[in-house]
Copies of this chain bind each other. A is one copy, B any other.
């Protein structure tokens, strides 16, 4: 039996990290949803960097660079973390550099784990199937908001934990995992409505990003498993067969 546990935010990473082999980094609104959209749509590599300064160095070397802070595209960069920006056909086969308020920071904090993959509601079922196939202990790391707990990452982590435990190949013992599963089940019928009071939804609503939010909260729109390899996020070769697929 493998273990799966939820860590609510990067600030708690060191309390939870011992003995896990795989970290799933989750930033539903919007970094990891955007990464899944980009990798699914043919971006070859996404290099996550923590600071705007690092991102600018890449920009000066001629890279396509995405930079977001406080929900907005940082001045002077090509785009931010709207998933729709990452579906641009011009990005196919390209390398994109990315820095965001929370998500890329969480990816880099988890980089000491043996394997780091990218989770979102968008790749939920494919990711869970892949995780079950690996037979390793899994930490689900929410990116949070500036090191604090946030609801949407917890819902996604709870949904993943629930599926892994349902497979009877995983068990959980931490209270954070029990709480995340519980919140995910309660939110499952209508995540968009459940999150209406959440802090980041309100932040994005003010920025007129409702379409982005709807996209990010829709489960199973993609089947890619983006993985960090050699400092860049790339697609894992994996044939996902949905359980309900017609053959």
Residues of A within 8 A of B (CB): 8, 11-12, 15-16, 145-151, 154, 173-176, 178-179, 182-183, 186, 197-200
Contacts and interface: CB of A to CB of B under 8 A. Distances in A.
Contact of A11 (B12, B145, B175, B197): B12
B154 A178 contact: no
Contacts of A16: 148
B178 A198 contact: yes
A213 to B, nearest CB: 15
B12 A148 contact: yes
Given A154-B179, A182-B183, A186-B182, A149 B8 contact: yes
Contacts of A8: 8, 149
Contacts of A179: 149, 151, 154, 179, 183
A199 B176 CA distance: 10
A202 to B, nearest CB: 8
A169 to B, nearest CB: 18
Q: In the complex this chain forms, how many copies of it are found?
A: 2
Contacts of A146: 15
B174 A197 contact: no
Contact of A175 (B15, B149, B175): B149
Among A146, A148, A149, A198, the most chain B Cβ lie within 10 Å of the Cβ of A149
Nearest to A144: B175
A228 to B, nearest CB: 25
A174 B154 contact: no
A183 B178 CA distance: 11
Contact of A178 (B11, B176, B178, B197): B197
A199 B198 CA distance: 27
A189 to B, nearest CB: 14
Contacts of A15: 11, 146-148
